[in-house]
Amino acid sequence: MGKLGIAGALAAASVLSTMQFAIVPTASAAPCPDAELIFARGTTEAPGLGPVGDAFLDSLRPRLGTKSLGVYAVDYPATMEFSTAVEGVADARAHILSTATSCPDTKMVLGGFSQGAAVTGFVTASVVPDGVSPLDTPTPMPAEVADHVAAVALFGKPSTRFMKAINDPDVVVGPNYAAKAVDLCVDNDLVCDPHGRSFSAHNQYAALGLVDQGATFAAERLQAIWATEALEPSTPTLSTQTPSMLSAPLQGAAQPHVAATPETLPGPAPLPGPVTPAQPPAVAPST
């Protein structure tokens, strides 16, 4: 990526260098949790979720009640070499596809801070960004994968102005995820606010309540999905076995029609013939 061409470039690079990603799965309560948080940390932050990601997890977990929550931290070098951000896109994509296949009932929450927000945004894209060769970036995920994602929470996503300054394409959440995404930006944040001028504002997401706002959004979407699923009636299993014929027909049951032959037709009783008059008894002749 190109170098930042605005005042405070070094400070911006320090903030955004955490955009590189690593995959660090953590233990979950069950092989397939009810929900899973997949989060990409910001530039120069230590491997894991990063401060914003940790705060997001801490705010989200108690809002889910008894539901289990797995965690997956997108891992990458997190240096100022922004070209490695594509590695994070590939890592996050691979884990999302794997989860959708191996745990189809798990509802995923995608998140990211700063450069990590850019990574997560690019993961949801339905097309390769303008100016990027398809050979240099992972293929967009199949559309049906979005059905496994409950929410997308982005904190401090780099603005169009910022991405242009570092010679990178704009971050656009794909149409399959836009309705389930929240894009949170602190006022005057140099990274995400198109008119921002403050680097310190970029570190105020937890303190100003935006992390809690994102957690509330994600939790409400999860709870709505689970509530809908709980109301769906289970589909009864229909037997495909052909019932055996009864040895004797039930009384009153319709009998199969049998073609009658002339010999079996009952017909009316024969009419009586003409009555023959009785003959008088014979009289013997007298002698």
Burial 17-32 (b: 16+ CB within 10 A, else e): bbbbbbbeeeebeeee
Rounded Cα distance, 14 and 10, in Å: 6
Give the count of alpha carbons within 13 A of 202, CB side only.
Answer: 25
Lookup result for tokens 């023959």: 276
Which pair of structure tokens corresponds to residue 98? 């794997």
Told to judge if 212 belongs to the known catalytic residues of this protein, a careful annotator would answer no
Radius of gyration in angstroms for the set of CA atoms belonging to the chain, rounded to a whole number: 39
Q: Which of 91, 114, 159, 168 is catalytic?
A: 114
CA-based nearest residue to 191, from 45, 66, 35, 14 = 14
Tell me which of 75, 168, 189, 193 is the catalytic residue. Answer: 189
State yes or no: is 68 an active-site residue: no
Specify whether the CB–CB gap between 112 and 57 falls below 8 A. no
Q: Does 189 qualify as catalytic in the annotation?
A: yes
Pick the catalytic residue from 95, 159, 168, 202.
Answer: 202
Q: Distance between CA atoms of 21 and 7, rounded to whole angstroms?
A: 26
- Sequence-distant contacts of 160-164: CB under 8 A, at least 24 apart: 160/194, 161/194, 162/4, 162/12, 162/190, 162/191, 162/192, 163/118
List active site positions.
114, 189, 202
